[in-house]
Amino acid sequence: MSDDQRIVVTGIGIVSPIGIGREDAWDSAAAGRSGAGPIEGFDATDQRVKVACEVSDFDPGDFMGRKNARRMDRFSQFAVAAARLAVDDAGLEVNGGDGIGAVVGTGTGGGIIRDAQHDVYLERGAQRVSPFTIPQSVPNMGSAMVSIELGLRGPVLTTSTACAAGTDAIGTALAMLRRGSADVILAGGAEAMITPFWVAGFDAMRVLSRRNDDPERAARPFDSGRDGFLIGEGAAILVLERLSAARARGAEAVCELVGYGASADAHHFADPDPSGVPQARAVSAAMSDAGLKAEDIGYVNAHGGASEPGDPAEILALRQALGDSARRTAISSTKAIHGHCLGAAGAVEGALTALAVHHGFVPPTANLDDLDPDCAGLDHVTGEGRAMQLGAAMSTSFGLGGHNAALVFGALNGDA
């Protein structure tokens, strides 16, 4: 493949419960340091779930004008902040932005403003609803505000495939760059859904952990005692560009984005296909797109949502796709510390996977004390992280409704 077809990650911006900025988030992930705690964004007294993974110490004024910030939902603020961090990290000059695009995934868009204005409608009447309600809440506003704030005039898109949205956004950007639709694309996801309504809704589905007395140990992917995930929020954006262009401007690449695959369960609106077959197709497609074999994948940052049906189905899928190499493949789920960031999950986890390749280090799965026998078959990294040279690593996302997606990142081996 020519350098014009090879796509590299040159910048990473993260706004997450485990840190704001690439280095802070990576340091927490590598150490297995949790961002969980009691919910502070609203009074959770009447909720059965009182814990979450919130982004602390976030001031939108650090990344955009305060007037503009007031006209954005929190998810759009996260997207803009992560985009600015990514562009700065990449040393990228926008310079008019004609050839620079953005693809930002989200599960629901502006859930906070939508909830708040619905309350205004019920309590004060239709005439008191804010004129900013729709512009702030529609799902495309994450990518739109990134475009507006940074001056990007290339193709700007939104993906909305539930928990796979961030992964699909990055995969979509990869395909666009390969076919020449843009010179540079800012790709990732953003979400902010920690509100009374959304927490109650997820709790009603029985997918959230209710370990309110011990937030940092509540999320337990692959553990026999798991009882659901902690809802998270945040954003991650990757700057993606051709290797030839990165070299031309003297940019230092983090790693290479080498493959993307997707599939659908066509099974159930909430539960994954227990056979693992559809999920395995996405994993195999990503490896095929990367031109790699199962034995080339050294690490998988798993979806690992800590659900009763989901974790075993994912392990089964990985075992099918990786075959005999599965038992030698390191696996962990960083959701144990940053929560399930929903539409941003694949972007946050993709960013951490890219950094794992870059640093040659695999973050651990926190709180995995008693491995569920149904989740065995891969090399679970627990307790402490593990230094290991990674030629290639994968990030997987399996979304509500049966959306499956996987990304493969590769080491550059001194190429850039």
**Annotated catalytic, 403?**
no
| Per-residue 3-state assignment (H helix, E strand, C coil) for the chain | CCCCCCEEEEEEEEEECCEECHHHHHHHHHHCCCCCEECCCCCCCCCCCCEEECCCCCCHHHCCCHHHHHCCCHHHHHHHHHHHHHHHHHCCCCCCCCCEEEEEECCCCCHHHHHHHHHHHHHHCHHHCCCCHHHHHCCCHHHHHHHHHHCCCCCEEEECCHHHHHHHHHHHHHHHHHCCCCCEEEEEEEECCCCHHHHHHHHHCCCECCCCCCHHHCCCCCECCCCCECEECEEEEEEEEEHHHHHHCCCCCCEEEEEEEEEECCCCCCCCCCCCHHHHHHHHHHHHHHCCCHHHCCEEECCCCCCCCHHHHHHHHHHHHHHHHHHHCEEECCHHHHCECHHHHHHHHHHHHHHHHHHCEECCECCCCCECHHHCCCEECECCCEECCCCEEEEEEEECCCEEEEEEEECCCCCC
**Annotated catalytic, 303?**
yes
The active-site residue, picked from 53, 255, 338, 340, is: 340
The active-site residue, picked from 53, 163, 255, 341, is: 163
**Annotated catalytic, 340?**
yes
The active-site residue, picked from 303, 338, 358, 380, is: 303
- Catalytic residues, which ones? 163, 303, 340
